[in-house]
Amino acid sequence: MNILGINAYHGNASAAIVCDGQLIAAVEEERFNRVKYAAGFPAAAIRYCLKEAGLTLADVDHVAVPRNPYARMGTKLFYAARMPSFARERIKVLAKFTGIREALAGAFDADPEQLKAVFHRVEHHIAHLASSFYCSPFEESALLSADGLGDFASSMWGAGFGPRMSVHGSIAFPHSLGLYYSAITQYLGFLKFGDEYKVMGLGAYGEPEFLEKFREIVKSNGSGFKLALKYFTHHRTGPEMSWAEADKTPVLGKLFSEELAKHLGPARGPEEPIAQRHKNLACSLQARLEEVYLGMLRHLARETQMKSVCLAGGVAFNCVANGKILGETPFENVYVHPAAGDAGLAVGAALYIWHQVFGKPRSFVMEHAYWGPGFSVDETRKAIEAAKLSEAGYAVTQLEEEKLLERTARIIGEGKILGWFQGRAEWGPRALGNRSIVADPRRAEMKEILNKRIKHREIFRPFAPSILAEASGEWFEKAHPSPFMTMAYAVKPDKRDKIPAPTHVDGTGRLQTVTKTANPRYWKLIKEVDRQTGVPVVLNTSFNDNEPIVCKPQEAIDCFLRTQMDALVLGHFLITKS
Ligand SMILES: [Fe+2]
């Protein structure tokens, strides 16, 4: 049975294909159309997924769409009556959704009437919960999804047993932890869609001076929370998000009200310098998020009496909060889906159909995130030749693995910046050693060098460490796996000066634990770095420069040349300045 998951007309448009319960491929549309967080219809992502699975559109038995426009109809109608612009937007979205069959057929020049696939709707947060639980190694687990808004809810929780999951509760619009974080992110002058993680990084430089004030903005409420709505606008104007267009990054309308400035002081303009007050506000924002999020998790642990928890939704990317789950809740195991944001809905919806709708037993665990496009040696060689690298003064050498790793580790140890492109592209927003820029973690100045030369991003944002999984307990305060860079743990005090570049100002690192089974070549590279330098860690940042992560070899070469990295490894090819 072939199930195609499609997240369309929503941020992070994506597709995934599940064949007889096994995930074969999953990818975001942004990797193809090169528009960050692209919404619209993910035609290229679908074409890739089917090609990877060796299928045609006619082979697809079921299509799972992670959206149910009929969910919470009462609440929707209530708000639609009060907000005509919101009602108009809903109608537009509904029209798009009823046309998914046509859009899918159109992407393949097929007749919609000829599609044999059965279409299923899976509610947004149910798809989030499914994305995490059905990919996790847990036979039974508590489940939590928390994000901005999807199908008019912001959070949902429940429990999973084997192939079944049940929902225990949810929080409906307008109360939302994700929108709370987005609103304060805007108030702090970060206006772009997806800027929340910048503010999370900034928070480490501050003190929770405004925590009491934030407790008034988000009030705890039994198993959940409520927003003090006078500080927000979305319940009056509707959540103004532009989702539908494929060639545009989504835009979020203004979420905070003038009351917020009365409560917290003036908002920061995007060009204004960042003062200590802004850092303290970011810190307080984060502290309140953690109180509420960890409170919800403690409640869920009590209610389910389970030892494991599966997380998804945009809030589950908050690695600082996730890093505290083991210490501050009864949970002993945590699994976060690598595409915890809305891209992951494509996988969740497809697996939900397989398990919950058809009752099929569990047979899949997502142990790695390499579900995107890969390229053959020939394709890679052709891209190198087309770029005329030799004529441009670069040496191109094809090396056996052992030699390649030895040379590459030496380049890293010399303080050079390396582009590292291997195998299939990562699923989710983190580069995990297949589309990564890798550097020496021992050099404190590396952060500034990377920012100046390659990444052109805010200096307060931390870089992340990739560490041999077996060494993580020796270097970090916790040894629980973090294969998808979704946890921040404290670096042991005696190790902080050994890896200053990926250690954040508060002493934590958003680590990726690398196992030999999940990514053998990346593991061997770090092992070789360890052999040469005595440190089983590399600094790992995504292979891009203010664009979606590179997908094809050509894009890696372009980024390498544009940003003047020192060396590039594409599969077995090493490219250096000659
Ligand atoms: Fe979501």
Residue 575 alpha carbon to ligand 1 centre in Å: 40
Residue 125 alpha carbon to ligand 1 centre in Å: 7
How many whole angstroms separate alpha carbon 239 and alpha carbon 183? 11
Query: Which residue from 537, 541, 544, 548 is spatially nearest to 563, judged by alpha carbons?
Result: 544
At residue 6, the pLDDT reads: 97
Residue 147 alpha carbon to ligand 1 centre in Å: 5
At residue 142, the pLDDT reads: 98
Residue 162 alpha carbon to ligand 1 centre in Å: 24
Residue 314 alpha carbon to ligand 1 centre in Å: 6
Return per-residue pLDDT of the chain as tens, 578 residues.
Answer: 999 999 998 889 999 999 999 999 999 999 999 998 888 899 999 999 999 999 999 999 999 999 887 777 777 777 777 777 777 766 776 777 678 899 999 989 888 888 899 999 999 999 999 999 999 999 999 999 999 888 889 999 999 999 999 999 999 989 999 999 999 999 999 988 889 999 999 999 999 999 999 999 999 987 899 999 999 998 887 655 665 565 667 777 889 999 999 999 999 999 999 999 999 999 999 999 999 999 999 999 999 999 999 999 999 999 999 999 999 999 999 999 999 999 999 999 999 999 999 999 999 999 999 999 999 999 999 999 999 998 889 999 999 999 999 999 999 999 999 999 999 999 999 999 999 999 999 999 999 999 888 877 888 889 999 999 999 999 999 999 999 999 999 999 999 999 999 999 999 999 999 999 999 999 999 999 999 999 999 999 999 988 999 999 999 999 999 998 999 999 999 999 87
How many whole angstroms separate alpha carbon 548 and alpha carbon 539? 19
Phi, psi of 129 (to 5 degrees): -60, -45
Residue 155 alpha carbon to ligand 1 centre in Å: 9
CB 11 within 8 A of CB 345: no
SS (H, E, C) 454-483: HHCCCCCCCCEEEEEHHHHHHHECCCCCCC
Residue 185 alpha carbon to ligand 1 centre in Å: 18
Residues 6+ apart with CB under 8 A from 447: 459, 462, 463, 501
Residue 146 alpha carbon to ligand 1 centre in Å: 7
Q: Which helix (H) or strand (E) holds 175?
A: none
At residue 245, the pLDDT reads: 60
Phi, psi of 437 (to 5 degrees): -105, 130
Phi, psi of 182 (to 5 degrees): -65, -40
Q: Is 12 helix (H, G, I), strand (E, B) or coil?
A: coil
Residue 68 alpha carbon to ligand 1 centre in Å: 13
Residue 230 alpha carbon to ligand 1 centre in Å: 24
Residue 514 alpha carbon to ligand 1 centre in Å: 27
How many whole angstroms separate alpha carbon 484 and alpha carbon 150? 23
Residue 393 alpha carbon to ligand 1 centre in Å: 47
Residue 124 alpha carbon to ligand 1 centre in Å: 6
How many whole angstroms separate alpha carbon 115 and alpha carbon 50? 15
At residue 455, the pLDDT reads: 78
Residue 522 alpha carbon to ligand 1 centre in Å: 31
